[in-house]
Amino acid sequence: MTHTIDYKGFYLAFRDISRLVHSSTSVQEVIDLAVQKTTELLNARGALLRIHNRETDHFEVAAACGFAEQYLGKGPVSREQLKLDLNHRDDVCIFKDIWQAPRVDSPQRAWDAGVRMILDYPLHHDDAILGVIRVYLAEAQEFSQAQLDFTISIGEQCACALNKARLIENQQSQYNHLVLQTEKLSALGRMAAGIAHEINNPLGGILLYSSNMFKKAGDGDPCKKGLEIIMRETTRCKGIIQELLEFSRHKAPDKIRLSLNDIICKALSILDNEFMLRHIKVTKTLADDLEDILLDGNQMEQVFINLLLNAAQAIEKRGHIRIETRLDADHGLEIVEIADDGCGIAPEDAGKLFEPFYSTKSTGTGLGLAVSYGIVRNHEGQIRVASQLNEGTCMTIELPLDRPAPSELRNQGNA
């Protein structure tokens, strides 16, 4: 038998549910209303909604109405127990004979409660199954396509609400994780700064005395080699301490109008020796139409030294570093590219590069890129990485010109 279709009822129910999906942050409200309206509009004896728990891969009863309320206290069921046919994911499954239906666990109980027919339909979002709705009907009946479409659209609304709740939950847990990390990092930063400060002075003393002794030692002095090692290693420790101090200091940039090309040339000249020792060829292509922009010269020099050093260290033996500047007047940017043909970065490591203390080098501090990132951000700039494992890496720094970009003006004009 076919029931007359209550289009107005369907429409109003759909409107109420979709309103809740958009206005409420409570999934429970949405799914409670969904099972209630489904029961009413399909003249059912009840409806039940189970939500998929990703951790346990089980379906838990989350909302029920009418006959189905007796399932509220029941525990979760597995995919196998539900006998979900995921090949027919968008279909409404209709069981006209509840005694023969493979998915009905206790047909006797349903029959005794006056249930004669069951409808099942899964709640999907993209490829993930979020839950299932089951509707219990008092008589076997034919459903029109419009009625089935209605049930599916209610299911889609529920899936939407469940998906929204999941996104919020994920964002919240990512945010909590980030807050925790930030707190840990700032505590660590303060501690590191304290220790670094204390160690810096005695290191200065060691360096001073060892270099005095080195100068006084005669050519054949057996201590000379040892003193040389003490000086070299102490200098290395001082370098690490310096990086730690820079990292924890978060010094605001002291900007004046400077030429980016000049800063790059200075950084290159400091590293000249390093490149020569490593047999690295450096190609420099500096644009001659760059204008002076507001920069903290020392901080930006440190950025280029960090990036150039990383590039040099990525090249095991012989290689090529390309450094290029150019003006992107349309976007109001000056762009620097530092590319190497070194070891490259594995895709799974790319996200970690700017994390403080992330290093793949036995003697690395993992602070160079973290410091550089902070400096570039303090200049309202961006730093990007493109890399191919075993092929090389290209780091791009974009710094804004201190005047509105033509592209921005055009956008404002259109707005």
Binding residues for ligand ADP, rule: CB under 6 A, are 306, 310-311, 314, 340, 342-345, 353, 358-361, 364-370, 393
Residue 378 interface partner, choices ligand ADP, Mg ion, none, CB cut-off 5-8 Å depending on type: none
Shortest Å, Cβ 394 to ligand ADP: 8
Shortest Å, Cβ 327 to Mg ion: 28
Strands (E), 262-409: 280-285, 293-295, 319-328, 333-340, 382-388, 392-400
State the first-to-last Cα distance of the chain, in angstroms, to the nearest integer: 58
- 24 or 359: CB nearest Mg ion: 359
> Nearest-CA neighbor of 323 among 287, 367, 292?
287
Shortest Å, Cβ 123 to ligand ADP: 43
Residue pair 71/45 in contact by the 8 Å Cβ criterion: no
Strands (E), 145-264: 256-258
User: Tokens 């080098």 label which residue?
Assistant: 361
> Nearest-CA neighbor of 246 among 282, 193, 285?
193
- 240 or 327: CB nearest ligand ADP: 240
User: Tokens 């994911």 label which residue?
Assistant: 89
Of the listed pieces 34-42, 268-276, 310-318, 338-346, which binds Mg ion according to CB under 5 A? 310-318
List binders of Mg ion among 46-105 (CB under 5 A): none
- 151 or 393: CB nearest ligand ADP: 393
Of the listed pieces 61-69, 184-192, 218-226, 307-315, which binds Mg ion according to CB under 5 A? 307-315
Shortest Å, Cβ 297 to ligand ADP: 20
- 250 or 361: CB nearest ligand ADP: 361
- 261 or 359: CB nearest ligand ADP: 359
29: which 2 tokens?
A: 């409200």
CB atoms within 10 A of CB 129: 17
CA distances from 240 to 14, 275, 312, 362 (A): 63, 21, 18, 13
368 part of the interface to Mg ion, by CB under 5 A: yes
- 163 or 313: CB nearest ligand ADP: 313
User: Tokens 């404002």 label which residue?
Assistant: 412
Footprint of Mg ion (CB under 5 A) = 310, 368
